[in-house]
Amino acid sequence: MEITTFDEFHKRILPAFDQFLTDRLTTEIKQPTLRDAMLYSVNSGGKRVRPMLLLATVYSSGVAQADLPKYFEVAGAIELIHTYSLIHDDLPEMDNDDYRRGQLTSHKKFGTGPAVLAGDGLLTHAFYWLAKSELNTSKRMAAVRILSHNAGPMGMVAGQMTDITKEDKQLNIDELTTLHKQKTADLITAAITIGASCADHSLSKNLVEYAEKVGLAFQLKDDLDDADDGEDVDKNTFPNLIGKKETEEKLRNLVKDALNAVLREEKFDKKLLVSFLDYFKK
């Protein structure tokens, strides 16, 4: 039966994907403290938005549901990178958070050294999974190239560096947009573009535009949610820079642009990526 909404897709695919993550990390990581720390953060209640976007893009490109497990290593690699970035972001020398997703952060549970190493392990292991995946060589190389470009010093790591070094300086709109694009949007863009390229969908300007708009919208929604909770009062965020109302307007425009971009995409079933946009209305 065809899956027509992102929520339904998430519900149907997630159990097997979660099992895959746990089984593979449990069998592959032999060092017990490292294994425990890596599994603790991977299984601490993340929404799995990035891997599900990757798999939804694969499915929307015409791959059958039964064949999606062939893409679990690639989708898993994105989740490992995302998890490492959160562990390191929470460290005392970065954001210094005690809790994430309602649970103790990695360094609070295991200590700072083990938390750094759990992050290092997840980052490196992501590329092991990409290299070992069932996809053909050119698809694997494309995935390695896109992920290292968007998650590394040309993408997410650069954004994080700007974030921690410009903490005391008020950034202007362009600087803040670049920071958010790198820190948050680039990994989300990678999920969608890797999904398309793995599924032989010719990567168009439209899909890249959808991915970039969704990536930035993701950060704006997170900033608005945190502002509602009274967090981030003196941080570089859009609500602090341009106000809540204007940030909401900006978010609506990003979602509208993302919708228009994906609707222009040819030879692609648009239903799942259109319905993902409901995420920004919640």
Contacts with ligand GRG, residue ranges (CB under 6 A): 46-47, 49, 85-86, 88-89, 101, 156-157, 160, 183-184, 218-219, 222
Tokens for 72? Answer: 């679990």
**Nearer of residues 49 and 207 to ligand GRG, judged by Cβ:** 49
Please state the separation of Cα 24 from the chain's center in Å: 20
Q: Which is nearer to ligand GRG, 46 or 204 (CB)?
A: 46
Whole-angstrom distance, CA of residue 222 vs CA of residue 228: 10
Nearer to ligand GRG, 47 or 256 (CB): 47
Report angle CA 232, 84, 208 to the nearest 5 degrees: 80
Give least dist CB 212 to ligand GRG, A. 15
**Shorter beta-carbon distance to ligand GRG: residue 135 or 258:** 258
Report in angstroms how near the CB of residue 87 gets to ligand GRG at its nearest. 8
Looking at beta carbons, which residue is closest to ligand GRG?
Answer: 46
At CB < 8 A and 24+ separation, what contacts does 172-179 make? Answer: 173/241, 173/242, 176/236, 176/237, 176/238, 176/241, 177/216, 179/236
Cβ atoms of residues 16 and 158 within 8 Å: no
Which lies closer to ligand GRG via its Cβ, residue 68 or residue 86?
86
Q: How far is the CB of 106 from ligand GRG (least distance, A)?
A: 12
Smallest gap from residue 180 Cβ to ligand GRG (A):
8
Helices 72-90, 6-28: inter-axial angle, 10-degree rounding: 80
Longest dimension (CA), the chain: 53
Least distance between ligand GRG and beta carbon 251 (Å): 13
Q: Which is nearer to ligand GRG, 14 or 157 (CB)?
A: 157
Rounded to whole angstroms, how far apart are CA atoms 82 and 215?
A: 13
Nearest approach in angstroms of CB 64 to ligand GRG is 27
CA distances from 112 to 34, 57, 83, 92 (A): 13, 37, 16, 8
Distances (CA, A) of 99 to 44, 162, 181: 11, 23, 25
Question: In the complex with ligand GRG, which residue's Cβ is closer, 157 or 242?
Answer: 157
Nearest distance, CB of residue 79 and ligand GRG, angstroms? 8
